[in-house]
Structure 1
Amino acid sequence: MRSDFTLNQIDLNLLRVFDLLMQERSVTKAADRAGRTQSAISHSLNRLREIFGDELFVKRAGSMNPTAQARELATVITQALSDIEGVVSQRINFKPSESHRQFRIGVTDYTSALYLPTLLEEFNSKAPNARLRIVPVYLYEAAELLSDPDLDCVLIGNPIIRESHIVETVLARHEMLCAAWSGNAVIKDLTMEKYLAMPHLQISPDGDESGVSDKALATIGLSRRVAATIPYYMVAPKVLRGTQMIAAFADGMLSLIDESSEILVTRPPLALPDVRVSLIYVRTKQTDAGHIWLRSCIRSIVTACEERKRAFLHQIIPLP
């Protein structure tokens, strides 16, 4: 190979010609398979000879016989072309029932509790040979983690996005509610005065004591007392049980609360912004057929969960 060689001097078409000549040992047959003229194949062969500094194929007894260097190159080039074809094929002609592809999805405590059981069931049903890897993410790092090309997307509430190359698709909006132990009489008659007087449980995966409730109260010159902060939504019902604390959480949790949890919910006495449940991913994955299928699968699951959630809305105690 020439000492001044750079990768810019070669393209896949040249490597494809090399591979066809290795298989056919004939310029004519290689041209037929490539759908090109014999002169075009000969021109490509001359370019390859110039790049590699070797004859590569020598005509002998009516056959194009590969040189020692060509045989050495063939093992690498043939495998490389096969790998590229496989990657491109599974992204253009994706068939979930036949795919062995691995997908990685980032989730938070909240979205994993709501959607993972159904997602895993649906994924395994439609793509039995594919693999799904679930990784935990936190709000402030979600967008940054997408710089890892192996992470396909993140299912998250209220994502913080500053990068223009990240796409956000809002799948649902969840109303913020107040929850408390059923033995806490305040939850059945929650006025603003009582709301401010009660100790609050802040659910914050990132450990931040200030939440949407504090921001909303600050706009009207009020504040609350945060008695405790926990990182996980799923343990909130157990933490509230037997205490006088109240907590704000999104209405998606309604489907996860039953009578045994001893938790009652009502609407807060002030307006709180909804939680937008979103799927975020890098823009370069938008046209990937497998990724399109995965996004569609997640979207349908979230939609189905939203439909089921309606059956639990009767649990919300009306405000006085």
Structure 2
Amino acid sequence: MVFTNLMRLRKASDVAEHMGLTQSSISHSIKRLRETFGDPLFLRTPKGMEPTAVALGLEPKIRSVVETLSQAISAPVIFDPASSTETLRLGAFDNEMTTLVPRFLQVVRSDAPGMRVSILPLGRRPAVDALEQGDIDLALGFAWSLPRSIKQVKLYEESYSVVLRQGHPLAQAQMTLEAYVRAEHLIVSPRGDHRGIVDDALEKFGSMRQVTTAVPQFLPALSIVATTDLIATMPSRLVATQAGRYQLVSCPPPIEIRPFTVSAMHHERNSNNPMHQWAISALSEIANDAAQM
């Protein structure tokens, strides 16, 4: 337990506080670990205890043993939403925060009023890393590929819509491919890229658009589109819920763009966690209700 907590927290004082032990007890445990494995395991640095290569290699094996023992000696956990005071930690990009989380919080406040929810702004790779490290319980979003340890439950399949401000010169006519590529485009990219899935689709038609602006999140993108002549191609559910608020108009893109799946992702070690199962079930119902509206 000391080893796994050191790998996660990287500070002996934090491990002592987390486990309810003295720092002396933690130091003795580290000494025994070093003697057992014949390696320093953790090196002191200004940023905390840095694991050695041996420690990094041992971590998944030791974590698996600790989890197996914990499951073996623990009584079956029963989750009662009405009496729960647990904290559910979600990782999501602002698309899912906007389309799924508000209604999910309504369910929480109604069915699990004592539960707390923490939401971290995490995109694909950071969310997967956080799941593997145990820093979050669930991640909402999509990923084309996942490590075997991360499981996902499909919530819905998402398509795309083009958004532009009311009064935009292209708002009065049908969006043709020629007009689409001639316009100046805004793209949502956490890394600041000026190329995305839309450009891959256009390439198949032998076309290229003008991407002049990249922003890291969807809601700022909608605000920018509302006050400029930039247009953007965004997830359809987000557009459907937010276009009116930003006084935007929308239309289908003039080309076929591959849809993507929005899922609830969790680590395999939590596959039987009743709180996680309840949350995923609630999110699935919300997604299904929205699809039927």
State whether TM-score is above 0.5: yes
Q: Whole-Å Cα distance in 2 between the matches of residues 242 and 134 of structure 1?
A: 29
Identical pairs, percent:
23
Unaligned 5+ runs, structure 2: 1-69
Cα drift, residue 154 of structure 1: 0.3
Task: State the SS of the aligned residue for 2:254.
Answer: coil
Question: 1:257 aligns to what?
Answer: 243
Cα drift, residue 150 of structure 1: 4.1
Q: Whole-Å Cα distance in 2 between the matches of residues 222 and 183 of structure 1?
A: 26
CA deviation vs aligned residue, 1:214-235 (integer Å, no higher than 9, x gap):
1111223321110111112112
Change (3 A) 1:242 1:92: closer
Unaligned 5+ runs, structure 1: 1-83, 309-320
CA deviation vs aligned residue, 1:162-183 (integer Å, no higher than 9, x gap):
3111112111112211111121
Aligned counterpart for 1:215 among listed residues 194, 200, 210: 200
Q: Whole-Å Cα distance in 2 between the matches of residues 231 and 206 of structure 1?
A: 7
User: Are the equivalent residues in 1 in contact too, given 2:190–2:215 (CA < 8 A)?
Assistant: yes
Greater gyration radius: 1
User: Are the equivalent residues in 1 in contact too, given 2:165–2:229 (CA < 8 A)?
Assistant: yes
Cα drift, residue 242 of structure 1: 4.0
State yes or no: 1:246 paired with 2:231: yes
Task: State the SS of the aligned residue for 2:250.
Answer: strand
User: Are the equivalent residues in 1 in contact too, given 2:165–2:247 (CA < 8 A)?
Assistant: yes
Question: 1:288 aligns to what?
Answer: 273
User: Are the equivalent residues in 2 in contact too, given 1:139–1:160 (CA < 8 A)?
Assistant: no
Q: Whole-Å Cα distance in 2 between the matches of residues 130 and 241 of structure 1?
A: 37
Question: 1:141 aligns to what?
Answer: 126
Q: Whole-Å Cα distance in 1 between the matches of residues 184 and 135 of structure 2?
A: 43
Q: Which amino acid aligns with 2:162?
A: C
User: Are the equivalent residues in 2 in contact too, given 1:143–1:160 (CA < 8 A)?
Assistant: no
Q: Which amino acid aligns with 1:194?
A: A
Task: State the SS of the aligned residue for 2:83.
Answer: coil
Between Structure 1 and Structure 2, how many residues are aligned?
221
TM-score of the pair, normalised by structure 2: 0.70
Question: 1:172 aligns to what?
Answer: 156
User: Are the equivalent residues in 2 in contact too, given 1:183–1:242 (CA < 8 A)?
Assistant: no
Q: Whole-Å Cα distance in 1 between the matches of residues 95 and 170 of structure 2?
A: 26
Cα drift, residue 160 of structure 1: 4.0
CA deviation vs aligned residue, 1:2-30 (integer Å, no higher than 9, x gap):
xxxxxxxxxxxxxxxxxxxxxxxxxxxxx
Q: Whole-Å Cα distance in 2 between the matches of residues 127 and 262 of structure 1?
A: 35
Q: Whole-Å Cα distance in 1 between the matches of residues 273 and 174 of structure 2?
A: 52
Question: 1:303 aligns to what?
Answer: 288
User: Are the equivalent residues in 1 in contact too, given 2:155–2:283 (CA < 8 A)?
Assistant: no
State yes or no: 1:230 paired with 2:215: yes
